[in-house]
């Protein structure tokens, strides 16, 4: 989050300089979303679809990010009966 979600003002040290809102909780939730998405990508990388789906669902409960929705749809599109570990081998790029 780059701006206050209430007034769109800039903030410093988790406090909006325009409206004075304390954004600590919102920023913590945003960090949890990022952590859950990283966990989902890692679990996909090691071939654990159940754990990947759980992490994606946790992320979506907090915030509906486009990446989380794409991962959710991707995982649901893989037929478990045809799952082969080599399908999920890929490199996770750090941002």
Q: How does pLDDT run across 40-94, given as a tens digit for each residue?
A: 999 988 888 899 999 999 999 999 999 999 999 999 988 765 555 554 555 555 5
Give the C-alpha separation, 40 to 61, whole Å: 14
Residue 58 lies in a domain: yes
Q: Which domain holds residue 51?
A: 11-88
Residue 4 lies in a domain: no
* pTM for this prediction: 0.74
Residue 60 lies in a domain: yes
Residue 75 lies in a domain: yes
- Neighbouring CB atoms inside 10 A of 87's CB total 11
Could you tell me the two tokens for 36? 């859950």
- Neighbouring CB atoms inside 10 A of 22's CB total 12
Domains identified in the chain, total number = 1
């Amino acid at each position: 989050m780059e701006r206050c979600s209430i007034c769109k003002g800039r903030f410093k040290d988790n406090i909006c300089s325009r409206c004075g809102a304390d954004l600590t909780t919102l920023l913590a939730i945003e960090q949890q979303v990022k952590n859950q998405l990283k966990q989902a990508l890692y679990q996909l990388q090691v071939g654990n679809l159940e754990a990947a789906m759980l992490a994606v669902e946790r992320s979506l409960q907090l915030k509906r990010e486009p990446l989380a929705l794409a991962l959710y749809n991707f995982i649901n599109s893989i037929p478990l009966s045809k799952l082969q570990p080599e399908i999920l081998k890929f490199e996770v790029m750090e941002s």
